[in-house]
Amino acid sequence: MKKMIEKWSELKTEFGIKAILDSLFAGVIYGTLIFVPVYIILVEIAMIFMYRLYTFVIIIIFIAMLNVFVINKLASKALFLKKPDAKSDIKNLMLIHSGFWMSIVLIIGLVFIFILIPILWV
Amino acid sequence: MNELTEKAWPIIKLLFIPYVLLLFLLIYPIEYYLDAPGGLTEVESLIDIDYNEDKITNGTISTTYIVALNRPTFFQFIVGYFSPYTTIDALTGSYADYTNSEISQISYWDKYTSVDASLIVAFLAAQNDNSEIIIDYVEKVLVFGKATYLSNYDMINFGDEFISVMGDNGLVNSLSDVAANTVLSSAYDFTFKNAEGENYVVSLTKDTESGKFGITFKTAYLVNKETTFPQYTVSNSNIGGPSGGLLQTLAIYNMLVNEDITQGLKIAGTGTIQYDGSVGYIGGVKQKVATAYLNKVDVFFMPNLDDNYVYDNYQEALKACEELGIKDTDWIVPVASFQDALDYLQGLGD
């Protein structure tokens, strides 16, 4: 944990908060643009094959996790493009960052599977 | 952001038109309806009767829902076209004039009145053997259809209660007297009661072509909860329509009597319920049969009122089985009334 905080401060010193936020914003924008049609396709197929609802929910969870990974990948790419000779461990930091958000997505997905769908689908 | 955009610019340019086209296919609705298999909902999760709490029920009684998409997108149309279980057709009749939200409202009121009809039929049946059971209900006339030419269209909502109309010879409270008392003028003041229980007056003008006001009513019996015993709770449902009537009635009856009519089986089915206990036809037979088959139910009740009628649900179900390659059809049980279904289940226990 301590190492990670050190790595983040290194990144902050090297790029500045504005550049990091700009890269994350770019990742979110392009990542969302890529995945929006995928989500719509999955939801629309799930509506037709409702008897496989849980299968589709699981697929959507995995796709959402992939989406998070792609957002972070694009953000790290944006940072590299800003400073190709950057010394900070961007790849590792973004991997940890995406791991954190992927676990959040997984938890939300499990809440849907085990709590929300059984309650709402009456 | 700029660096990434610059780097990806050739790809963005190349994919822009296909991307917009894809979004169009995914979003643009078309004037069709699509029916697809849905699932089973255990009636116990919708209706809970505060009675016989210690009774052990070994089987389950479920209603069957299908997915009815009004105005699917192009993409859904294409996917549905290649699925053996779906039915796609042009949206016609009054439904073509309604928005999707209005269709949902009608569906909600269909469900609402069907639950009350189930409660009435089941309570009356259970009352025969147990005088402790009391059911009290009132007759109400509800708005169930609105034509496009209905004046003050947005003021009147589906499910609003008809109270009276100021007719040619004074106040008219009975729906059957409305036509005879609205002859001389072209516009009349109607009084309705909304969902919040507030009365409102609205002037309705007759359509010049049809000579009608453009409003459809349905007479429904709604249960008076306070004076009914045992008490019950109905959960909010996301699934609309009246086709769960028969199975709701069976499940409620099972909650009221001491015996377990399920016989440990997974029971499902479809069919509306009338106040006299008879069963009515439903739509989406093929999808309901597919849903039941995919969910491996033991008994599936299907309305069967006239073997010679081409759209008799049971006959349709047999055809659907043939189409879907389902060889064994013994699990589909034809019924014409609640009593038929009850006799069948009780017969299994003997």
Q: What is the mean pLDDT of each run of 10 residues along chain A (122 residues)?
A: 83 89 94 96 93 93 97 93 87 91 96 88 64
- A30 close to B (CB below 8 A): yes
Per CB-CB distance under 8 Å, the chain B contacts of A30 are 4, 8
Cβ neighbours of residue B219 closer than 8 Å, sequence gap 6 or more:
B139, B140, B141, B142, B175
**B58 class by beta-carbon count within 10 Å (0-12 exposed, 13-18 middle, 19+ buried):** exposed
Task: State the nearest Cα–Cα gap between B298 and chain A, in angstroms.
Answer: 18
Beta bridge partners of B140: B220
Residue of B nearest to A118 (CA): B45
**B227 and B138 in contact (C-beta within 8 Å)?**
no
Pairing outcome for strands B232-234 and B215-223: unpaired
Helices (H), B51-190: 74-81, 100-127
Q: Is B239 on the interface with A (CB under 8 A)?
A: yes
Query: Cβ contact (<8 Å) for A48 and B34?
Result: yes
Closest chain B CA to residue A29: B1
Q: Are B265 and B59 in contact (CB under 8 A)?
A: yes
Instruction: Render pLDDT for B64-120 as a digit per residue (tens, 0 to 9).
Output: 999 989 899 999 999 999 998 999 999 876 677 888 889 889 999 999 999 999 999
Structure tokens given for B59: 């089987």
Do residues B270 and B243 touch, judged by C-beta distance below 8 A?
yes
Chain A contact set for B4 (CB, 8 A): 23, 26-27, 30, 74, 77-78, 81
Residue of B nearest to A77 (CA): B4
Query: What are residue B178's DSSP bridge partners?
Result: none
Rounded distance, CA B333 to CA B185, Å? 53
Pull the structure tokens for residue B32.
Answer: 């069709």
Interface check A53 vs B, CB under 8 A: yes
CB contact residues (below 8 A), chain B span 266-305, against chain A: 290-291, 294-295
- Flag residues of chain B having pLDDT under 70: 93-94, 350
What is the C-alpha to C-alpha distance for residues B10 and B2, in angstroms, rounded to an integer?
14
Contact B153, B159 (CB under 8 A): no
Q: Cβ–Cβ of B5/A26 closer than 8 Å?
A: yes
State the Cα–Cα distance between residues B201 and B203, nearest whole angstrom.
7
In this complex, is the C-beta atom of B251 within 8 Å of any C-beta atom belonging to chain A? Answer: no
Question: B47 CB near a chain A CB, below 8 Å?
Answer: no
**The pLDDT value given to residue A11:** 86
Q: Do A51 and B3 touch (CB under 8 A)?
A: no
In this predicted structure, what is the pLDDT of residue B94?
Answer: 66
A81 touches B at CB < 8 Å: yes
**Contact in structure between B310 and B250 (CB atoms under 8 Å):** no
Cβ contact, residue pair A74, B80, below 8 Å: no
Partner-chain residue, chosen from B4, B34, B67, that has the shortest CB–CB distance to A77? B4
pLDDT tens column, A3-29: 888 888 888 888 899 999 999 999 999
**CA of A45 to nearest chain B CA: how many angstroms apart?**
7
Determine, for residues A49 and B4 on separate chains, whether the beta-carbon distance falls below 8 Å.
no
Residue B307: what pLDDT? Answer: 86
Chain B residues within an 8 Å CB radius of A29: 1
CA distance A97 to chain B (A): 19
Q: What does R_g of chain A's alpha carbons equal in angstroms?
A: 18
Nearest by CB to A40, which of B26, B83, B238?
B26
Q: Do A122 and B86 touch (CB under 8 A)?
A: no
**pLDDT at residue B270, rounded to an integer:** 97
Take residue B24 and report the two structure tokens written for it. 């169009």
Whether residue B238 and residue A122 make contact (CB cut-off 8 A), yes or no, is yes
pLDDT at B81: 93
Interface contact A29, partner B, CB < 8 A? yes
Please give the model's pTM, rounded to 2 decimal places.
0.82
| CA–CA distance, B193 with B200 (Å, rounded to integer) | 6
Is the CB of residue B58 less than 8 Å from the CB of residue A70? no
